[in-house]
Amino acid sequence: MNKRRRVTYIGCSAFLAFLFLIPLITREPYVFHILCLIGINIIFACSLNTILNIGELNLAHAAFMGIGAYTSTLLVMKLSFPFWFAMPLAMVASAIVSLALGILTLRFKGAYFLLFTFLFAELVRILLSNFWIDIFGGIPGLINIPRPTINIFGLFRTNFKSNIDFYYLIMVLVIFTIFVMRRIDASRLGMIFRAISQSESLAESTGISAMRFKILGCAIGCCFGGLAGSLYAHFVGIITPQDFSIHAVLAPVAYVVVGGMGSIFGPVLGTTFLMVLSNFYLRQLGLYELLIYGVIIVVIIRFMPEGLISLPRVVASWSKKLPGGG
């Protein structure tokens, strides 16, 4: 076991080193544009995974990303906050709204919770696109969102105009997110979340207040959803209500499910696999892009319901079935 752990650590560090050195291989802005989006989506998928781990699917998760994005954008553009304050505040805003929603809706379980979050997502989209247009910008949304700037005593400064700089910022935050999620997973809290997802009534019989921990789990997930939203807004520069609609949550759910739920590496793997596939390989197929993408998702789920992360196990079980196989 110990040896395996060491191999994992070496593998991860090598991969991280590779990610930091990508700018030596290529400096193509498009590549870094996609890499940044992958990073943002990894944060988002991980935050979604936290909520999936307490056994619920939050269809409004993109709406929380939206709350983060709009909060951070409005703080920066209307109240001229620096990005570095606006981003944590966006996380806090998402978490607070999720607390309120959680208290109202987590009484409902399974499909009812799902449908409730669906309603909330649509409500947020309708409010953002049709009301208070002078603040939220209506259906066209907000444009010209500035990128952050940093200036540490004049020693180190950048305005993140280059995608490569932004890529490093996002990567640091991705590592931060994965670190936090891993720590939660390994802690008592993670154990309680797993217990609740396996059997809520059994968990409650051991004295765990399932409701309270579910609300907490949702708030943690939504907090990081807000982080993804804030990064998205300042990276892309344009946000519209449609970016955070119910349809926007389905792709990240697919990332998590295709990668594999449970472990933190599932969402990371799933996001990277599907986004690399669609942005670097399927893009040139035009209409067939979404078609093939859909087929791949259905096939993976149909034959690997535990996700890509179970690939080694699936291959092993197939090779056993083959004549002459181990």
Partner 1 sequence: MEITLLFQGGLNGVMLGLNYALIALGLSLIFGIMGIVNFAHGEMYMLGGYVSYFLIGRFGFDFFTSIIAAIVIIGLLGMLFEKSIFRPLTTRPREALTSLIAAVGLAWVLQMLAVICFGDLDRNVPSTFKGIINMGGVVITKERLVTIIIGIVLVLLLNLFLLRTRMGNAIRAVAQDKEAAALQGVQVSRISALSFGIGCALAGAAGALMAPIFSVSPFLGGEVILKAFLVVILGGMGSIPGAMLGGLVLGFIESFGSLFFAVPTVSAITFVLIIVILIIRPQGLLGHE
CB nearer to partner 1: pick between 92 and 114: 114
- The set of residues, in sequence order, having a beta carbon less than 8 Å from that of 318 and lying 6+ positions away, is none
Length of the chain: 326
Minimum CB distance to partner 1 smaller for 1 or for 111: 111
- Residue 69's nearest CA partner among 256, 236, 258, 261 is 236
CB of 262 to partner 1, least distance (A): 9
User: Closest approach of Cβ 120 to partner 1, in Å?
Assistant: 8
Closest to partner 1 by CB, 268 vs 282, is: 282
Least distance (Å) between residue 59 CB and partner 1: 9
Q: Which residues bind partner 1 (CB under 8 A)?
A: 52, 57, 104, 107-108, 110-112, 114-116, 118-120, 122-123, 126-127, 129-131, 246-247, 250, 253-254, 257-258, 261, 287-291, 293-295, 297-298, 301-302, 305-306
CA-CA distance, 117 to 105, in Å (whole number)?
Answer: 8
Q: Is 297 helix (H, G, I), strand (E, B) or coil?
A: helix
- Look at the block and give the residue holding tokens 């599907």: 274
Q: Quick one: 88 or 138, whose CB is closer to partner 1?
A: 138
Q: Where are the alpha helices (DSSP H) in 187-287?
A: 188-198, 200-205, 210-236, 246-259, 265-276
Please name the residues in contact with 21: beta carbons below 8 A apart, sequence gap of 6 or more: none
Residues 6 or more apart whose Cβ sits within 8 Å of residue 143: 137, 237, 238
Provide, rounded to whole angstroms, the least separation between the CB of residue 13 and partner 1. Answer: 31
Residue whose CB is less far from partner 1, 107 or 212: 107
Write down the least CB distance from residue 39 to partner 1, Å: 22
**In terms of Cα–Cα distance, which of 235, 249, 77 is closest to 170?**
235
Backbone angles phi, psi at 152, to 5 degrees: -100, 100
In whole angstroms, give the CA distance from residue 25 to residue 200.
Answer: 49
CB of 136 to partner 1, least distance (A): 12
Pick the closer one to partner 1 by CB: 150 or 261: 261
- Rounded to 10 deg, the angle between the 163-186 and 2-25 helix axes is 170
- The nearer residue to partner 1, 45 or 173, going by C-beta atoms, is 45
At its nearest, how many Å lie between partner 1 and the CB of residue 49?
Answer: 11
Residue type (1 letter), 276? V
